[in-house]
Amino acid sequence: MKHQLLTILSFLMLSFAGAQNLTITGVVTEADTGFPIPGVNIILKNTSTGTVTDFDGNFSLANVPSGSTLVFSYVGFISQEVVVTSAEPLAIQLATDVAQLDEVVVIGYGTQRKKEVTGAVGIVSSETIEELKPTRIEQALQGQVAGVQISSNSGSPGSSSTISIRGISTNGDSRPLILVDGNVIEDLSVINPNDIETVNVLKDATAGIYGVRAANGVILITTKSGRKEMPLTIEYNAYVGLQETTREIPALNATEYALLVNEAFAANGESLQFPNVSELGQGTNWQNEVFQTAPVFNHAITVKGGKEKSTYAFGQSFLTQDGIVGLKKANFTRFTKRGSYSLDFLDNFKFNAGLIFTNTNRRALPESGLGSVLFNALNNDPTLNVRENDGSFSISEGLGNEVINPIAQIDNTFNRSVVNKLSGNASLSYNFLDHFTAQSNIQFNYSHVKSTTFNPIAFFGSGKVFNRDRNELVIFNNYFRDYTFDAFLKYERLFNDTHNVKVLLGTSVFKTTGEFSGRVGRDFVGNSVAEASLDGAGEIQNIYPNGNATFDSRLLSYFARVQYDYKGKYLISGVIRRDGSTKFGPENQFGYFPSGSIGWVASDESFLEDSSVFNFLKFRSSYGILGNDRIGDYRFVSILNGEGTYVFDDELFFGIATGVISNPEIRWEKQKAFDVGFDARFLNNKLDVTADYFKRTTEDLLFSPQVSGILGASSPGSAAPTINAGTVENKGFEFAIGYSDQVNDNFKFSVKYNLTSIDNEVLLVSAQGGFIAAGGFGVGQDPPARMEAGFPIGYFRGFKTDGIFQNQAEVDSYPTLNSQVQPGDLRFVDINNDGVINDDDKTNIGDPIPDFTMGLNLTFDYKNFDFGAYAFASVGNEIVRNYERNQPLTNRSIYYLDRWTGEGTSNTFPRVTSGANSNGLFSDFFVEDGSFVRLQNVQLGYSFSEKALERMGFDKFRIYISGSNLFTLTEYRGYDPTTSTGEAIGGGIDYGFYPNPRTFLLGINVKL
Give the separation between CA 95 and CA 615, rounded to whole angstroms.
17
Instruction: Give CA angle at 648 (643, 654), nearest 5°.
Output: 25
CB 852 within 8 A of CB 844: no
Asked if residue 316 binds other proteins (CB under 8 A), the reply is no
Give the separation between CA 903 and CA 694, rounded to whole angstroms.
52
Nearer Cβ to other proteins, position 234 or 442? 442
DSSP summary character for residue 176: P
Name which position in 385, 550, 746, 807 contacts other proteins (CB under 8 A): 550
CB 590 within 8 A of CB 211: no
In SS3 terms, 551-596 reads as EEEEEEEEEEEEEEEECCCEEEEEEEEEEEECCCCHHHCEEEEEEE
Total chain residues near other proteins (CB under 8 A): 104
| CB-neighbour burial class of residue 391 (10 A; exposed 0-12, middle 13-18, buried 19+) | exposed
Binding pattern to other proteins, positions 488-507, x when CB under 8 A?
xx----------------xx
> What 3-state class would DSSP assign to 604?
helix
Name which position in 63, 282, 820, 908 contacts other proteins (CB under 8 A): 820
* Residue 159 beta carbon to other proteins: minimum distance, rounded to whole angstroms: 21
For residue 172, CA distances in Å to 197, 249, 720 come to 31, 33, 14
Asked if residue 780 binds other proteins (CB under 8 A), the reply is yes
Name which position in 5, 19, 530, 647 contacts other proteins (CB under 8 A): 647
What kind and span of H or E run contains 42?
A: strand 41-44
Asked if residue 470 binds other proteins (CB under 8 A), the reply is yes
Asked if residue 541 binds other proteins (CB under 8 A), the reply is yes
* Residue 554 beta carbon to other proteins: minimum distance, rounded to whole angstroms: 5
Positions in 59-98 near other proteins (CB under 8 A): none
* Residue 717 beta carbon to other proteins: minimum distance, rounded to whole angstroms: 7
Asked if residue 642 binds other proteins (CB under 8 A), the reply is yes
Asked if residue 865 binds other proteins (CB under 8 A), the reply is no
Asked if residue 798 binds other proteins (CB under 8 A), the reply is no
174 half-sphere exposure, CB direction, 13 A CA radius: 27
Positions in 554-573 near other proteins (CB under 8 A): 554-556
Give the separation between CA 46 and CA 584, rounded to whole angstroms.
55
CB 753 within 8 A of CB 818: no
Binding span for other proteins by CB under 8 A among 23-31, 48-56, 433-441, 739-747: 433-441
Name which position in 522, 569, 748, 956 contacts other proteins (CB under 8 A): 522
Nearer Cβ to other proteins, position 391 or 716? 716
Name which position in 465, 894, 897, 948 contacts other proteins (CB under 8 A): 465
Name which position in 51, 467, 766, 893 contacts other proteins (CB under 8 A): 467
Residue 788 backbone dihedrals phi, psi, to 5 degrees: -155, 145
Binding pattern to other proteins, positions 868-907, x when CB under 8 A?
-------------------xx-------------------
Asked if residue 235 binds other proteins (CB under 8 A), the reply is no
Asked if residue 766 binds other proteins (CB under 8 A), the reply is no
Nearer Cβ to other proteins, position 50 or 398? 398
| CB-neighbour burial class of residue 780 (10 A; exposed 0-12, middle 13-18, buried 19+) | exposed
* Residue 154 beta carbon to other proteins: minimum distance, rounded to whole angstroms: 20
> What 3-state class would DSSP assign to 266?
helix
Which of 947, 956, 948, 949 shows the shortest CA–CA distance to 1004?
956
CB 591 within 8 A of CB 134: no
Asked if residue 347 binds other proteins (CB under 8 A), the reply is no
Positions in 15-44 near other proteins (CB under 8 A): none
Chain mean position to CA 80: 40
* Residue 709 beta carbon to other proteins: minimum distance, rounded to whole angstroms: 3
* Residue 707 beta carbon to other proteins: minimum distance, rounded to whole angstroms: 6
Q: Which residues contact 598 (CB under 8 A, 6 or more apart)?
A: 118, 570, 571, 572, 573, 620, 621, 622
Nearer Cβ to other proteins, position 440 or 905? 440
Binding span for other proteins by CB under 8 A among 335-343, 375-383, 386-394, 579-587: 579-587
Name which position in 468, 695, 956, 1007 contacts other proteins (CB under 8 A): 468
> What 3-state class would DSSP assign to 377?
helix
Which of 608, 571, 577 shows the shortest CA–CA distance to 590?
577
Positions in 366-405 near other proteins (CB under 8 A): 397-398, 400-401
- Residue 684 falls in which region: left (phi positive, over 0), alpha (psi -120 to 50) or beta: left
Asked if residue 832 binds other proteins (CB under 8 A), the reply is no
Name which position in 46, 781, 808, 832 contacts other proteins (CB under 8 A): 781
Give the separation between CA 775 and CA 363, rounded to whole angstroms.
26
CB 672 within 8 A of CB 729: no
* Residue 281 beta carbon to other proteins: minimum distance, rounded to whole angstroms: 26
Name which position in 35, 432, 592, 967 contacts other proteins (CB under 8 A): 432
Which of 621, 571, 572 shows the shortest CA–CA distance to 601?
571
CB 985 within 8 A of CB 775: yes
Asked if residue 982 binds other proteins (CB under 8 A), the reply is no
* Residue 345 beta carbon to other proteins: minimum distance, rounded to whole angstroms: 10
* Residue 654 beta carbon to other proteins: minimum distance, rounded to whole angstroms: 7
* Residue 596 beta carbon to other proteins: minimum distance, rounded to whole angstroms: 25
Binding span for other proteins by CB under 8 A among 256-264, 618-626, 655-663, 951-959: 655-663
Binding span for other proteins by CB under 8 A among 306-314, 378-386, 768-776, 869-877: 768-776
Nearer Cβ to other proteins, position 427 or 445? 427
For residue 56, CA distances in Å to 29, 34, 205, 214, 704 come to 9, 11, 45, 46, 63
CB 655 within 8 A of CB 709: no
Nearer Cβ to other proteins, position 12 or 652? 652
What's the first-to-final CA gap in the chain, in angstroms?
43
Nearer Cβ to other proteins, position 395 or 608? 395
Q: Which residues pair with 937 in a beta bridge?
A: 870, 964
Binding pattern to other proteins, positions 706-745, x when CB under 8 A?
xxxxxxxxxxxxx--x------------------------
Positions in 580-609 near other proteins (CB under 8 A): 580-582, 586, 589-590
> What 3-state class would DSSP assign to 427?
strand
Written as one letter, the residue type at 48 is S
Asked if residue 654 binds other proteins (CB under 8 A), the reply is yes
For residue 109, CA distances in Å to 242, 438, 505, 626, 745 come to 42, 11, 10, 17, 41
Name which position in 9, 12, 232, 652 contacts other proteins (CB under 8 A): 652
Residue 512 backbone dihedrals phi, psi, to 5 degrees: -130, 135
Asked if residue 639 binds other proteins (CB under 8 A), the reply is yes
What kind and span of H or E run contains 856?
A: strand 852-862
* Residue 541 beta carbon to other proteins: minimum distance, rounded to whole angstroms: 7
In SS3 terms, 918-945 reads as CCCCCEHHHEEECCEEEEEEEEEEEECC
* Residue 775 beta carbon to other proteins: minimum distance, rounded to whole angstroms: 14
Name which position in 315, 461, 792, 992 contacts other proteins (CB under 8 A): 461
What kind and span of H or E run contains 379?
A: helix 373-379
Nearer Cβ to other proteins, position 281 or 915? 915
Residues written for the chain: 1008
Positions in 616-635 near other proteins (CB under 8 A): 633-634
Asked if residue 655 binds other proteins (CB under 8 A), the reply is yes
* Residue 523 beta carbon to other proteins: minimum distance, rounded to whole angstroms: 8
Name which position in 643, 810, 929, 946 contacts other proteins (CB under 8 A): 643
